[in-house]
Amino acid sequence: MSYNDMVAIKPTMKILDAPYCNLLRMEYNQCLEEGLDVEKYKDLVWAVSNIEDEDDRRRFADMIFELLMKTEIREGYEYNEPSDLEGIRALRKPYAFEKKMPSEDRLREKILGAWYGRICGCILGKPCEGTKYDELTQFLKDADNFPMTRYICRKDIKYKSTIRTSCLADEMQFAPWDDDTNYVVLAQMLIEKYGKDFTPKNVMQLWTVSQPLPSYYTAEKIALVNYACGYLPPASAVYKNPYREWIGAQIRGDYFGYINPGDPETAADMAWRDASISHVKNGIYGEMFVSAMLASAAVTDNLRDAILGGLAEIPATSRLYAAVMRLIARYDAGVTQAEAFADIHAEWDDKDPHDWCHTISNALIVVAALLYGECDYGKSICMAVETGFDTDCNGATVGSVLGMLLGEKAIGDEWKAPTHGILDTTIAGAEKSEITVLAEKTMGHITKV
């Protein structure tokens, strides 16, 4: 398909929340982070983004997209970040640790723990998703819940704020739908329908029939629209997608870790097939990291082994790897919890949508919460949420990892109670699913216990 053929699909793009021509500055910043030599085009990008007429802005944006995509990596860029699986695997740094395959009963408890861990962590962060750090901190202090130790409840709503009051824990009859939990259920359906040899195209095929488009966001929504217009993966991840290194893939990989205990490489392989439909580079690595970390956590009681076992499946030459390893080194050097999270906030601006929803900023919060949470489930998910950024995503991922590492019995009833054992989704045929049934289906997808 030629470039002229590609730009001809632009009327369909109007179904997106924000057309590409309104995201040009975000695209420029994304290209800059990827190491592309785009600084010479900054004035042009800013000028086009200021054009008042949207049709004119759209036409110029098409040309800018082509221009930016033809740009080479700038000289001296220190990272090497391929998006193909072979290229990724060639740049890994191995990490060996003792793997102990649990008994079937213990593995069953770990799997149930991972499900509950993710769901409860998501519930914790859901009301404050989108609330910026300063406002969130003040709200929690006013609710006598800072540092955070519990769910946000109705009694905490004392004034108007950006806290979402439609998903308060003490008013739930089940765990409400959320993209952070929908994707785990979708991955389970993917394995049931296509098996473990599923392809990126299979993921797209499942997505198009399983949920309404409003259930998808940012990179995922753009990828679906691109696919409907004829772009197969990996082109679906690239065409007019400035969200291509955002957190969307990082929240989708849990299930591939669940069903590959002790095999982080295969977990990361599946995660790559899933992520490559909508993301590139660190956007892909985020999903591979989380999947491999969960596969590692299934066969160890050592948190550090789980984290490093996950990192071993992504390029050691990437921004994500470097950022997480720096965080770990600072932790080992005695940097305090407050200093570690302040460092993340100093580098990433939670008031900037790009920084707020980026893979790396949120992966750093996940790892920091895991390290400083000291394998205490409640302490860790609260730490992940109270610092802001993508709160439901980070609470869910931290909860999933600790649930797998520690097992369901390590998650107190005070966290599980709001679920009433039920998870709702927007997925056709998977509404109001019993969490124990979801976990048991997971056990059936594990090749060998």
- Encode pLDDT of 274-298 as tens digits: 999 999 999 999 999 999 999 999 9
Q: What is the pLDDT of residue 5?
A: 46
Q: What is the pLDDT of residue 448?
A: 53
Question: Is residue 162 over pLDDT 50?
Answer: yes
Mean pLDDT for the stretch of residues 295-305: 98
Among candidate residues 1, 2, 69, 12, the one with its CA nearest the CA of residue 226: 12
Question: Is residue 447 over pLDDT 80?
Answer: no
Residues 6+ apart with CB under 8 A from 252: 183, 186, 187, 271, 274, 275, 287
Helix (H, G, I), strand (E, B) or coil at 132: coil
Question: Is residue 146 over pLDDT 70?
Answer: yes
Mean pLDDT for the stretch of residues 113-128: 98
Q: What is the pLDDT of residue 15?
A: 65
Mean pLDDT for the stretch of residues 106-134: 98
Helix (H, G, I), strand (E, B) or coil at 93: coil
CATH code of domain 85-445: 1.10.4080.10
281 vs 250: CA distance, rounded Å = 12
pLDDT digits (tens, 9 = 90+) for 308-340: 999 999 999 999 999 999 999 999 999 999 999
Q: Return the percentage of the chain with pLDDT > 90, whole number.
A: 95
Q: What is the pLDDT of residue 7?
A: 45
Question: Is residue 11 over pLDDT 60?
Answer: no
Q: What is the band of 14 on the pLDDT scale with cuts at 50, 70, 90?
A: low
Q: CA angle 128-158-149, nearest 5°?
A: 50
346 vs 350: CA distance, rounded Å = 10
Q: What is the pLDDT of residue 16?
A: 75
Please provide the average confidence, as pLDDT, over all residues in the chain.
95
Q: Is the Cβ–Cβ distance between 342 and 318 less than 8 Å?
A: no
Number of H helices, E strands in the chain: 23, 2
434 pairs with which residues across the strands?
422
Mean pLDDT for the stretch of residues 255-284: 98
Give the residue carrying structure tokens 């217009």. 229
Q: What is the pLDDT of residue 1?
A: 40
358 pairs with which residues across the strands?
246
Q: What is the pLDDT of residue 12?
A: 46
Helix (H, G, I), strand (E, B) or coil at 415: helix
Residues 6+ apart with CB under 8 A from 402: 113, 117, 370, 373, 375, 377, 380, 381, 410
Question: Is residue 2 over pLDDT 60?
Answer: no
Helix (H, G, I), strand (E, B) or coil at 333: coil
pTM of the prediction?
0.95
The domain locations on the chain are: 3-69, 85-445
